[in-house]
Structure 1
């Protein structure tokens, strides 16, 4: 299957977890080139090599701290020198600190918002420079079930940032549909990645997981990568402003 033949993608947070798996999925489906961004250089270089070795897709790593606007500008500058254009943007960078509400000061609140929410906006602004002139683009924002229903008491900043992503996704979709740019998102629940170690039921016994999650298991990164691949493809051409829930039935919209 080569539904992404001739297409190029950029993914923040693409060095690990469900976002990396999504790049692998698209690369296996014919993606011509990809840029992955993250802070950890060793992990990023390894991830880019893994993607290329597994799929044959040209994949480049750009060291990026998305909390720094200048790093985001540099990311897209480097991307322009490596790939012809950008058809697909996956905003997958994020942090989920576990802290009691009353210990979250202005600095920590801003840190979470800058990484999870502001970086999405700044990346979209840069991607639009490619997508608007070519009248084509697929933007996928990785939000969370916590943005729908609230997370734990210790993840208030994370939950607020992810709720903001869901709402902002609708705004971008309304603004840029005229340019044939689709903007959608996903809202994963408890997926087996490094980020979910803060959730209280991550290490819960199977019997409790089955009580909490109707499908009776934690999610896998593959449960998300297929949805991201769908939203990044032409199969989703008439879908925009939508954030798809991937949570095993914990929240049903």
Structure 2
């Protein structure tokens, strides 16, 4: 399958389970070039991707809270490849700090990673995509923004993810004319019955992301896709 032949992508937070599944999905669909961005470079993963798929793969060490390293990420991508067509951002944290312990520092940490970082990544990606009149951006958000029950994470997390979903609707509206599709995918793995069900959920996240960055989804932008399976509709702790 050559869906992404001659396409170049950046994926962040590549050491997470669903990020690995997303990478496997898009490289199996003929992706030509890939930048893996995370706090540390995973040379073993890079070698595996290159050997098994033929996709040119490079690692970049970056800190999503630092504007300079986000700018350097895209500079690095343009040094390695002709352009960037796809950005998949999975970088976020999910604190469980209760309200009475949630001080300004902890609030800001969550916002800086989950919302500010996502904005700066989008900003840099759009510069490239707007110039070529083409681009696909997917941010991983959370089902918790719309279905809070059971034992929810910190309010800072919920607000940051809700803010991201809203921001994406704004980006999508203002860059639709530039042929840039920008969406969010909101998974939920909590409360799944077993490892097999969780694995199936992760595969569904990867399949959804793969669809959204393909030209089959060219009329989908500003959407938030819930990928939660039965976990949000069963009477289990959430």
Give the alignment's TM-score, normalised by structure 1.
0.85
Between the aligned partners of 1:145 and 1:248, the Cα distance in structure 2 is 11
Runs of 4+ in 1 over 3 A off after TM superposition: 150-154, 216-220, 249-252
Structure 2 residue aligned with 1:185 = 184
Unaligned runs of 5+ residues in structure 2 are: 234-238
Partners of 2:144 and 2:152 within 8 A in 1: no
The answer to whether the aligner puts 1:161 opposite 2:142 as a matched pair is no
- Secondary structure of 2:146 counterpart: helix
Structure 1 residue aligned with 2:224 = 243
Structure 2 residue aligned with 1:27 = 27
- Relative to structure 1, is the Cα distance of residues 132 and 113 closer, same or farther in structure 2, using a 3 angstrom cutoff? same
Between the aligned partners of 1:99 and 1:154, the Cα distance in structure 2 is 7
- Secondary structure of 1:60 counterpart: strand
Partners of 1:137 and 1:181 within 8 A in 2: yes
Between the aligned partners of 2:231 and 2:53, the Cα distance in structure 1 is 34
Partners of 1:150 and 1:156 within 8 A in 2: no
- Secondary structure of 1:30 counterpart: coil
Partners of 2:94 and 2:153 within 8 A in 1: no
Q: Kindly report the root-mean-square deviation, in angstroms, between the aligned alpha carbons of the 2 structures.
A: 1.9
Equivalent residue in structure 2 for 1:76, among 58, 67, 74 = 74
Structure 1 residue aligned with 2:114 = 116
* Displacement of 1:251: 4.6
Write out per-residue CA displacement over residues 44-92 of structure 1, whole angstroms, 9 at most, x where no aligned residue: 2232222223312111110011011111111111111011101001111
Unaligned runs of 5+ residues in structure 1 are: 191-198, 210-215
Between the aligned partners of 2:180 and 2:153, the Cα distance in structure 1 is 36
Write out per-residue CA displacement over residues 146-175 of structure 1, whole angstroms, 9 at most, x where no aligned residue: 122237344221111111111111111101
Give the alignment's TM-score, normalised by structure 2.
0.90
Between the aligned partners of 1:164 and 1:4, the Cα distance in structure 2 is 30
Between the aligned partners of 1:137 and 1:46, the Cα distance in structure 2 is 29
Q: How does 1:67-216 map to 2 (within 5 A)?
A: 67-150=65-148, 152-190=151-189, 201=191, 206=193
Between the aligned partners of 1:77 and 1:123, the Cα distance in structure 2 is 12
Partners of 1:15 and 1:47 within 8 A in 2: no
* Displacement of 1:98: 2.1
Between the aligned partners of 1:97 and 1:54, the Cα distance in structure 2 is 36
- Relative to structure 1, is the Cα distance of residues 153 and 102 closer, same or farther in structure 2, using a 3 angstrom cutoff? farther
Between the aligned partners of 2:218 and 2:134, the Cα distance in structure 1 is 10
Between the aligned partners of 1:2 and 1:113, the Cα distance in structure 2 is 37
Between the aligned partners of 1:217 and 1:101, the Cα distance in structure 2 is 32
Partners of 2:201 and 2:228 within 8 A in 1: no
* Displacement of 1:179: 0.1
Between the aligned partners of 1:165 and 1:17, the Cα distance in structure 2 is 21
Between the aligned partners of 2:230 and 2:146, the Cα distance in structure 1 is 13
The answer to whether the aligner puts 1:4 opposite 2:9 as a matched pair is no
Equivalent residue in structure 2 for 1:58, among 56, 71, 80 = 56
